[in-house]
Amino acid sequence: MSQETVLKLENLAISYKTRKRVIDAVRDVSFTIQRGENLGLVGESGCGKSTVAYSIVNFLGPNGFVRNGNIIFKGEPLQNRPERELRRLRGADISMVYQEPMSALNPTMRIQDQMAESLIAHRGISKKEAYGEVLEALKRVYMPDAEGTMTRYPHQLSGGQQQRVLIAMALLNNPSLLIMDEPTTALDVTVEAAVLDLIAELQEQFQTATLYISHNMGVVARVSHKVAVMYAGEIVELSDAKTIFHRPLHPYTMGLMKCLPDVDAPKGTRKLHPITGRVPAPDQLPNGCIFSPRCEFAQTGCFETHPILREIENGHQVRCLRADEWLGEKRIWSGEDIGEPCVERAGESTQQLLSLDKIKVYYPIPFKTVRGFFGLEKREYVRAVDGISLQIKKGRTLGVVGESGCGKSSVARAIVGLEAIYSGKMDFLGLDISKPLNKRNIATIRQMQMVFQDPNSVLNPSYCVGDQIAFTLKRFRTVARDQIQTEVERLLCAVKLDESYYYRMPRQLSGGEKQRIGIARAIASNPALLICDEPVSALDVSVQAAILNLLLEIQTSQDTTMILISHDLSTVRFFSDDVAVMYLGKIMEIGDCESIYQPPYHPYTAALLAAVPRPNPDLQATHVRLYGRVPSAVHPPSGCRFHTRCPFKIGEICETEEPMLRNLGGNHYIACHLSDDEMNHIIP
Amino acid sequence: MTIQSTTNPEIHSKPSAPFDLGFRVSQTWKKIREFLELIWASPTAMIGLAIVLIWVFLAIFAPLLTKYSPLEQDYKFINKPPTADHILGTDHLGRDVFSRLLFGARTILLLGPVSVFVALLIGIMLGLPAGYYNGWIDETIMRILDAFMAFPTILLYMIIISALGPSPLNVVIAISIGGTPGIARLVRALTMDIRTREYVKAAKLRGDSDFVIMVREILPNCRGPLIVDFLMRVGYAAFYIGTLGFLGLGLPPPTPDWGGMVQEGHTRMTANIWPVLSATLAIVSLVIGLNLFADGLREESMRYQ
């Protein structure tokens, strides 16, 4: 690696003017990125990561400005340059890849035209030449059917392909500095894995200096050489990736790693360590060490002295007063000591709670022609769920995993009755629940509740949170009328909040708190079955851990049966007794948790497992990768639905014959044409 | 859109004991204070509100502010320019223009909000189910409303008034009918958005009836845009009441009515411009005031989304 400094930030401080005051969003940030180096900038949301990135390209918006410090790009300061000069740099020598590929591409322009734009603008070459280079660039990012992609519009590409286009576009002018702002956060894990492979490979090939922003330690471990951990506008730890992951010295960095569920640890062996509290607002920073209110190792001195970022060992900078202690004898971090085992589950009953028999959830496609409107054409359906059978025993937890669009949420909605089923039978405690919600009786409705995904829409903004829980209590007459307030109070305490939350409005709460209220509301009716639809995927990692611990506690203490819908295999392993892997409306593999995470694997499960980003930079990239997108559920592929993307496809049989679920011992079933032996040898 | 606080939501300033009734009252007060802060934060809304409040003040205290009755005719003073006695002069029947202006404000400030309020009620009743159920209920309601919208507004008013005859009640009916389709469309659009929120699913999962979901879960969250729309429409209503008056379809004479004043005065404009000018400026200022207020409110409440 050549030692050519591309970007150097010196004591950078960025502020935003608001109506009332000037807010210091970023303070005293210094780091350098060399040619060929990838610096990962990690931290929870609201820590100022994106602000740093935007300051480099001067995109801070009308009210943001660099208050102090220098941004030095290739030896020359970037601030105070005229806009014209900056415009010449952006897109040519400094490029950026954004989080939302769909909104970063212009939906009205063909891919070739929007990509050629930056070439024509910066290098003044002809359109024809530009198209040639665009094609080259698309091939470099392994775009399937690069020629065809040229003339398509963004909406005709999948999310992963769009992100590839953006990366290709960013690399077009061979920039010296590439800024990537959470480029894979909006993508499915399988797609994310492929894009990360690509980023790592291009990194090697082009030697571009990269600033990689992410909240996910696992992702950073895959691509970055150096890691800077940001907390509330300051860098708290900066070092090379290996040191950070094996020997973190700042409690915040340790916290970020301890709160991740580990895909390699079976259920019940670990308890997650959430970081308590939340990132302070930039205008309400605590005295002393800014992390001290949330730090479990804080001592009296921490609350008074603001530590400086100091080099503790070669190239390892930490902003912590007690860092020397961690370095010396009193090691508080080791890879194995991530968490303590949680309590073993109580004995399980064998009583069947819920059984689904070949249920189908079809969504009709609106007719596009007049003939169709008059019923002269055959109705077409999106086959979101296409014949699924499964059973859940009382007290067990079933995890349902798959990429987005595989129908896992539709199953959940069908069970609770939010979606009518097309055909099939559902049986709940001996009752037939094949009818949708408005035809079920209130006693049945009460037994099944749901925890939702999006904390911002889970609570009605018009009512205080206590009232919203009380609505449920009143409706189901769970407790006597005069007991309602006491019961709400009890529920708030059960989700680790306190009674003072009763009169808070939803907008006064953080995402994690809203999700807790959502859980309190769901358990208010004391349901027999609780369905959690991606309960933590919209939350920060540190908060995720707390919510998962809470759900696990409810599960153990109340013996509630749960269904967890998730795209994240680590979460599912942490949480579930049984796992069902879904692809395109079908179950590919089902069984108890341990058999799923061990060979024999279904090729799809193996690909999902291989895609999970692990916070360990020593792990080599694995080989089972999926490309392309999930095919349309209107006309699913014939035979095995996975054959279009399967890396282990045998041949014709996969295209013509649909594999049935077959038993591989115990209650482990796999739907695949591969032999047992072959499946035993798949390494994810 | 919700009316958002300009103060930092992170501060939970009330650690006081929960479950006391006084707390709810103080919460309501807090909401009102936040609303006022919101208006205070926007110069546009402040100016608009000031103009509107001036007219409200003049209308309420009209009998105290002028010594003449709006109907009192004085044949010795016909078409006179402003004097100390008649600060805006007199009209062709010798009535005090200033007095007619103030009493005219009373009618317009009463009829405008009332008719828009009626339109709002009907619009909500039609828009909520249309947006919530979709399908044929939506089609039926919206196609009927489309038929109403197909008429040019003023033509629709003229048809209704000429069928029912000019009277304050019929003006209210006409403007309510004319305003309903627009409000229903707005409510429908908001409902279609809000109905996909997860708290609505949660309400379904506790078996709440559709009516309860529409009224308790959806409607309160439409209030932001509806308040802004209401204010705008009151402005337009004032405008249309004036127009109807000018066309002779407003309030029957001799009721003091701004539109009527313009209509009666415009043929004598060269002789005496004051009745026409003051009535026109009155309409313009009221409409501008309401629009500024609504605009400022919308901008300010959107800013922190």
Give chain B positions within 8 Å (CB) of A448. 205
Tell me the C-alpha distance between A444 and A446, whole Å: 5
Do A23 and A15 form a contact (C-beta atoms < 8 A)? yes
Mean pLDDT of B170-179: 91
**pLDDT, averaged across chain B:** 84
Residue B15 at interface with chain A, using a CB cutoff of 8 Å: yes
pLDDT at A517 over 70: yes
pLDDT at A325 over 70: yes
The proportion of chain A whose per-residue pLDDT surpasses 90, expressed as a percent, equals 16
Residue A446 at interface with chain B, using a CB cutoff of 8 Å: yes
pLDDT at B5 over 60: no
The proportion of chain B whose per-residue pLDDT surpasses 70, expressed as a percent, equals 92
Tell me the C-alpha distance between A100 and A103, whole Å: 6
Do A259 and A541 form a contact (C-beta atoms < 8 A)? yes
Do A192 and A183 form a contact (C-beta atoms < 8 A)? no
Closest CA to A40 of A242, A270, A269: A242
Q: What is the DSSP annotation of B2-67? A: -PPPSS-TT-----S-SS-HHHHHHHHHHHHHHHHHHHHH-HHHHHHHHHHHHHHHHHHTHHHH-S
pTM of the model: 0.84
Alpha helices in A99-207 (DSSP H): 101-104, 111-123, 127-140, 146-150, 159-171, 189-206
Query: Residue B64 has what pLDDT?
Result: 85
Which residues 50-89 of chain B have a CB within 8 Å of chain A?
Answer: none
Do B79 and B205 form a contact (C-beta atoms < 8 A)? no
Q: Which pLDDT band, with edges at 50, 70 and 90, does A3 fall under?
A: low
Beta strand A423-428 pairing with A352-364? antiparallel
**CB-CB under 8 Å, B15 with A418:** no
Which residues 17-46 of chain B have a CB within 8 Å of chain A?
Answer: 18-19, 23-24, 27, 41
Amino acid at site A15: S
If you measure CA to CA, which chain A residue comes closest to B17? A500
Q: Which pLDDT band, with edges at 50, 70 and 90, does B47 fall under?
A: very high
Query: Residue B14 has what pLDDT?
Result: 38
Residue A378 neighbours by CB under 8 Å, 6+ apart: none
**CB-CB under 8 Å, A19 with B6:** yes
Q: What is the DSSP annotation of A424-475? A: EEEEETTEE--S-GGGS-HHHHHHEEEE-S-TTTSS-TTS-HHHHHHHHHHH
**CB-CB under 8 Å, A448 with B199:** no
B48 token code pair: 């608009």
Residue A449 at interface with chain B, using a CB cutoff of 8 Å: yes
Tens of pLDDT along A596-644? Answer: 888 888 999 988 888 888 877 777 666 677 776 678 888 888 888 888 8
User: Which residue in A453, A460, A504 is closest to B221 by CB distance?
Assistant: A460
Mean pLDDT of A437-450: 88
Which residues 189-208 of chain B have a CB within 8 Å of chain A?
Answer: 197-199, 201-208
- Helix (H, G, I), strand (E, B), or coil: what is residue A381? strand
Query: Residue A332 has what pLDDT?
Result: 56
| A295, A214, A206, A204: CA torsion to nearest 10 | 60
Query: Residue B127 has what pLDDT?
Result: 94
Tens of pLDDT along A156-213? Answer: 887 788 888 998 888 888 888 999 988 887 778 888 888 888 888 888 888 889 999 9
Query: Residue A683 has what pLDDT?
Result: 76
Alpha helices in B134-167 (DSSP H): 135-150, 153-164
* Residue given tokens 């602000």 in the structure block: A51
Centre a 10 Å sphere on the Cβ of residue B167 and count the other Cβ atoms it contains.
14
Top-ranked range on mean pLDDT: pick from A201-205, B115-119, B275-279: B115-119
- Residue A633 gets which letter from DSSP? S
Give chain B positions within 8 Å (CB) of A416. 205
Give chain B positions within 8 Å (CB) of A460. 199, 217, 220-221
List, edge to edge, every strand of the sheet that includes A529-533.
A448-451, A529-533, A561-566, A397-401, A578-583, A586-592, A669-671, A661-663
Do A194 and A144 form a contact (C-beta atoms < 8 A)? no
Query: Residue A620 has what pLDDT?
Result: 66
**pLDDT, averaged across chain A:** 85
Do A571 and A533 form a contact (C-beta atoms < 8 A)? no
Give chain B positions within 8 Å (CB) of A473. none
Tell me the C-alpha distance between A40 and A613, whole Å: 14
pLDDT at B304 over 70: no
Residue B14 at interface with chain A, using a CB cutoff of 8 Å: yes
If you measure CA to CA, which chain A residue comes closest to B4? A507
Residue A471 at interface with chain B, using a CB cutoff of 8 Å: yes
Taking the CA of residue A428 and the nearest CA in chain B, the distance in Å comes to 16
**CB-CB under 8 Å, B2 with A507:** yes
Give chain B positions within 8 Å (CB) of A475. 206-208
Q: Which position has the higher pLDDT, A118 or B79?
A: A118
Tens of pLDDT along A522-563? Answer: 999 889 999 999 888 888 888 888 888 888 888 888 888 999
Q: Which position has the higher pLDDT, A369 or B232?
A: B232
pLDDT at A344 over 70: no
pLDDT at A442 over 80: yes
pLDDT at B8 over 70: no
**CB-CB under 8 Å, B206 with A504:** no
The proportion of chain A whose per-residue pLDDT surpasses 70, expressed as a percent, equals 95
**CB-CB under 8 Å, B202 with A418:** no
Query: Residue A346 has what pLDDT?
Result: 45
Give chain B positions within 8 Å (CB) of A485. 19
Flag the least confident range among A339-353, A489-503, B119-133, B233-247: A339-353
Query: Residue A458 has what pLDDT?
Result: 92
Give chain A positions within 8 Å (CB) of B27. 464, 503
List, edge to edge, every strand of the sheet that includes A310-313.
A94-97, A177-181, A209-214, A38-42, A226-231, A234-240, A316-318, A310-313
Is the ipTM here above 0.95? no
Amino acid at site A21: R
Q: Which pLDDT band, with edges at 50, 70 and 90, does B215 fall under?
A: very high
Flag the least confident range among A23-37, A409-423, A536-550, A571-585: A536-550
Cβ density class A308-338: b for 16+ within 10 Å, e for less: ebeebeeebbbbbbbbeebeeeeeebeeeeb
Q: Which position has the higher pLDDT, B122 or B66?
A: B122
Do A177 and A208 form a contact (C-beta atoms < 8 A)? yes
pLDDT at A672 over 50: yes
Q: Which pLDDT band, with edges at 50, 70 and 90, does A333 fall under?
A: low
Do A377 and A369 form a contact (C-beta atoms < 8 A)? yes
A649 token code pair: 């496809």
Q: How far is CA A334 from CA A112, A241, A248, A640, in A?
A: 50, 16, 9, 44
Amino acid at site A669: Y
Closest CA to A238 of A41, A525, A5: A41
Query: Residue B219 has what pLDDT?
Result: 93
Do A52 and A8 form a contact (C-beta atoms < 8 A)? no
Do B31 and A462 form a contact (C-beta atoms < 8 A)? no
Give chain B positions within 8 Å (CB) of A466. 18
Query: Residue B193 has what pLDDT?
Result: 92
B177 token code pair: 């009918």
pLDDT at B82 over 90: no
Q: How far is CA A109 from CA A147, A153, A630, B139, in A?
A: 16, 6, 24, 34
Q: Which pLDDT band, with edges at 50, 70 and 90, does B4 fall under?
A: very low
Tell me the C-alpha distance between A329 and A315, whole Å: 20
Closest CA to A505 of A454, A469, A465, A471: A465
If you measure CA to CA, which chain A residue comes closest to B21? A503
Cβ density class A500-521: b for 16+ within 10 Å, e for less: ebbbbbbebbbbbbbbbbbbbb
Query: Residue A196 has what pLDDT?
Result: 86
Closest CA to A528 of A408, A352, A342, A345: A352
Do A428 and A414 form a contact (C-beta atoms < 8 A)? no
Tell me the C-alpha distance between A184 and A29, whole Å: 25
A533 token code pair: 């639809």
User: A381 pairs with which residues across the strands?
Assistant: A364
Residue A80 at interface with chain B, using a CB cutoff of 8 Å: no
Tell me the C-alpha distance between A207 and A176, whole Å: 8
Flag the least confident range among A68-77, A323-332, B66-75, B147-156: A323-332
Residue B9 at interface with chain A, using a CB cutoff of 8 Å: yes
pLDDT at A28 over 80: yes
Amino acid at site A137: A
Residue A131 neighbours by CB under 8 Å, 6+ apart: A112, A116, A150
Closest CA to A295 of A329, A332, A339, A338: A332
Residue A475 at interface with chain B, using a CB cutoff of 8 Å: yes
Tens of pLDDT along B192-208? Answer: 999 999 999 999 998 89
Query: Residue B11 has what pLDDT?
Result: 37
Tens of pLDDT along B126-142? Answer: 999 999 998 889 999 99
Top-ranked range on mean pLDDT: pick from A345-349, A506-510, B71-75: A506-510
- Residue B82 gets which letter from DSSP? P
Sort residue A383 into left (φ over 0), alpha (ψ -120 to 50) or beta: beta
pLDDT at A67 over 80: yes
Do A177 and A155 form a contact (C-beta atoms < 8 A)? no
Tens of pLDDT along A219-268? Answer: 888 889 999 999 988 999 999 988 888 888 888 988 888 888 877 777 77
Taking the CA of residue B179 and the nearest CA in chain A, the distance in Å comes to 26
Tens of pLDDT along B83-112? Answer: 777 778 777 777 888 888 888 888 889 999
